[in-house]
Amino acid sequence: MRVPPHPDPTSARRPGDRSQIPPPVSPAPLQRPGGKDTAMGSLGRKSSGDMTGRFLHVFILAGLLAAAVGGEASPGGAGVLGEVGDQDDRVMVCYFGSWAVYRPGAGRFDVEDIDTDICTHLIYGFAGLKADTHEIVSLDPYNDLDVNYGKGAFKRFTGLKKLNPDLKTLLAIGGWNEGSSKYSQMAATEDSRAKFITSCVLFLQKFGFDGLDLDWEYPTLRGGKPEDKLNFALLLDEMRSRFDKQGLMLTAAVSAGEATIDAAYNVSALVRNLDFVHLMAYDLHGTWEQYAHHHSPLYAYAGDKGGNLKLNVDYAVQYWLKLGVPETKLVLGIGLYGRCFTLARADQHDVYSPSYQPGLPGPYTRSPGMQGFNEICESEGREAWTVVRDTHMVSPFAYRERQWCGYDDVQSVETKASYIVSLGLAGAMVWSIETDDFHGNCHAGPFPLITTIRTVLRDGKPIPTPTPPPTPTPTPEPETTTDTTTTTTPSPPPPSTVCHREGFNTDPKDCTAFYSCHQVGDHWQVYHFQCAPGTVFVEDLQTCDFAQDHQDLCVNNSYSYHHQNPNSIDYDYEVDQNRLNKVPKAKKTDFLEKMKRFEKKLKEISEAAFLDTTQASVKTRTVEIPAKDDASKRSQHRQAKKLRMMKKKSNKNGPEGLY
């Protein structure tokens, strides 16, 4: 059995964190969200008028557009879009960051904690892409799959439809932490695209998903190629053809940054192939900047100028509509989290106040610079925070001493939902359900943000929204784009021996950890991950494996009982199952007992001690690529490893071991 490493891509989806941690204009990242843009432009305005007439107008327009592009209605997706005038058909899309199951205390959130009545569509984040075969894979096999004593979250997730037969469940692939280069390679040829599509169809059918949500962040960027824009369009055309035959939905999470949009997307291909376009209208500002600003303002702040005039929800929505995405397919994303800053001075706490450090992490998500709404509202209940609500931004920010967080609350999401109704958009998307106040600790009931959004969408009665501020003539500024991640924190450059190849590399100082190295231009982007409990990283296998089967790799062969959060590496669960069946029963029992003792130990640890052992488990750094190491030394090192493994296998008696 290969056990995944457990970093926490929390925070916001880089769907920016879907990556969750997501990031600039995109969210996990995915996510889970995207890149910042500073080009010039004008703010769009929503139209007004009788709502009944507008909905009828949208209905007719949608039909004409569908006929014009030749798109076919796919089950559960485009077939609903033509009737967006009926408020019951507005979608409420909820992303689920599956790594929330590893969060401590009251922040822990599993599949069974999902309320199946408040969302119309649930999206599981995330699956990944196997680089060498171009196939979709699980990123956390222990949690996702039900083989090798796994928890089977995939099937439990799709099984939620038993509680609500109208519910649609989709699987998201990608996110910020997955990068772009693997997807660029997959989309480059017709053959590799066909392999990917076939694997997706089989994977979705195997686990009972209704469709796939593409979260490639982003075509042509972050290690991608200029050809990605065309290749992504071809991929969508080919996926739509196959998915229609199987009755599967196809959606995508897209950036809110103008420069990213222009570089990455063939909009007509998105329109004719996607059931919904999920606009990640959050992470527009963050700790990659040297000042505090709200990451998801509805309209521009009065003090915005230059490129920042484009970094707001309304501008992103109007830009996508201008490019030709019909209202009936555009789903507005709302972040259920805040971006937090540590201010340079406690007496300067307005927007644009200097800040050179991320805000303190919350007790559940534990990501500097980001806190879930559940963490923010609980903190406001315990401590004296000053809450400020700007007329134009709509969404509030709060400060206490040198801590500053911009977020959405019940009042602001109500206004954003009303904005959706006023424009006749397809509905709302949230990243992510597990950072809402799902216990109802701060409100009269659980999930107050999602419930508020859904109520406004269902009632179809827009409340008054603020008039956007006048748009001053933008001051030209040099365009800059800064890559960041929602789930990681900066650290000093690693030694030149860390990255000797693209992909996963051994940590020479810790056999239970490894580096994930991605070449971006003339730099390495490096992430440091920890293997799951009781495992070590085996570079020849490119995965974490049982420590007891690789005793020669560690000087000290003790089990490392750390609790990490999920991430992914390539995993062949069918091969593992066959090999595990050959292992003596006593060996399996011993492993299961160790895991039970580990989980029991976790429950006994106090929250404070727990946080001390898990803080900052994932780090990223960007360093210049060093000169090539001596090729012969690297070759000798790899050969020595293989010889040790061959010798170990030849000395085994009885049934073959796991590896």
Using H for helix, E for strand and C for coil, what is the string for 507-533? CCCCCCEEEEEEEECCEEEEEEEECCC
What are the structure tokens assigned to 645, written together? Answer: 């493994």
Who has greater pLDDT, 600 or 66? 600
CB crowding 113-122: b at 16 or more within 10 Å, else e:
bbbeebbbbb
Q: Lowest-confidence range among 268-272, 327-331, 359-363, 528-532?
A: 528-532
Cα–Cα distances (Å) from 647 to 312, 374, 512, 616, 651, in that order, read: 60, 53, 22, 38, 6
CA 574 to chain centre: 27
pLDDT of residue 601: 55
pLDDT of residue 49 exceeding 80: no
Mean pLDDT along residues 76-100: 69
578-587, 603-612, 647-656 — which one is most confidently predicted on average? 578-587
- What is the rounded distance in angstroms from the CA atom of residue 434 to the CA atom of residue 96? 7
% of the chain surpassing 70 pLDDT: 61
Q: Which residue has the higher pLDDT, 342 or 585?
A: 342
> What is the model's pLDDT at position 25?
33
Task: Say whether pLDDT at 363 is over 90.
Answer: yes
Task: Tell me which of 217, 327, 375, 378 is the catalytic residue.
Answer: 217
Average pLDDT, the chain: 76
Kindly tell me if the per-residue pLDDT of 647 is higher than 90: no
Half-sphere exposure of 404 (CA within 13 A, CB side): 27
Q: Is the pLDDT of residue 620 over 80?
A: no
- What dotted CATH number matches 51-335+408-459? 3.20.20.80
pLDDT for res 625: 39
Under a CB-based contact definition with an 8 Å cutoff, are residues 267 and 259 in contact?
A: no
The question of whether 217 is a catalytic residue gets the answer yes
pLDDT tier at 591 (50, 70, 90 boundaries)?
A: low
State CA 364 to chain mean position distance.
17
The pLDDT of residue 378: 97
How does pLDDT run across 164-181, given as a tens digit for each residue? 999 999 999 999 999 999
What confidence score (pLDDT) does residue 499 get?
78
Q: pLDDT tens-digit profile of 52-63?
A: 333 333 333 334
8 Å CB contact between 415 and 316: no
Q: What is the mean pLDDT of residues 282-305?
A: 98
pLDDT digits (tens, 9 = 90+) for 273-289: 999 999 999 999 999 99
Q: Tell me the backbone φ, ψ of residue 234, rounded to 5 degrees.
A: -65, -40
pLDDT band of 217, cuts 50, 70, 90: very high
pTM of the model: 0.65
For 145, residues 6+ apart whose C-beta sits below 8 A from its C-beta are: 138, 152, 154, 573
Q: What is the pLDDT of residue 642?
A: 60
Residue 633, Cβ density class (10 Å: 0-12 exposed, 13-18 middle, ≥19 buried): exposed
Domain ranges of the chain: 51-335+408-459, 489-650
Q: Cα-flanking dihedrals φ and ψ of residue 275, to 5°?
A: -70, -40
Q: What is the pLDDT of residue 339?
A: 99
State the pLDDT confidence band at 332, using cuts at 50, 70 and 90. very high
Among 524, 611, 614, 600, which Cα is nearest to 7's?
Answer: 614
Lowest mean pLDDT among 255-269, 476-490, 514-528: 476-490
Query: pLDDT tier at 573 (50, 70, 90 boundaries)?
Result: very low
- The mean-pLDDT minimum among 228-232, 255-259, 640-644 falls in 640-644
Sequence length of the chain is 659
Largest CA distance in the chain: 81
